[in-house]
Amino acid sequence: MPFPIKICAVCSEEFELKPDKPGFANRCPACSEAETAEPATSSRMDTFERRHEKEANEARRQAMRDLLYRKDS
């Protein structure tokens, strides 16, 4: 069964739209690869945000501990 031929929305090249093709259905495999390489930036951002959140949680825990100690004394 032949795959449908699509025109890439990015580079205007014809490509076969295979069912297991990663990325967007209107982009050729090469342009899909360029696109999937991008999330590395956002995942690095996620790591930064997660670290930031962890620091915020630790600060909150420290404040909570201070509050408890203050209550004890």
Which residues form the interface with Zn ion (CB under 5 A)? 8, 10-11, 28, 31
Of residues 12 and 41, the one with the C-beta less far from Zn ion: 12
Q: Considering just the CA atoms, what is the radius of gyration of the chain in Å?
A: 24
The nearest distance, CB 9 to Zn ion, in angstroms, is: 8
How far is the C-alpha of 24 from the C-alpha of 10, rounded, in Å?
11
The nearest distance, CB 48 to Zn ion, in angstroms, is: 31
How far is the C-alpha of 23 from the C-alpha of 10, rounded, in Å?
13
Determine the residue type at 12: S
Of residues 9 and 68, the one with the C-beta less far from Zn ion: 9
Of residues 22 and 53, the one with the C-beta less far from Zn ion: 22
The nearest distance, CB 5 to Zn ion, in angstroms, is: 13
Token pair 């929305």 is at which residue?
9
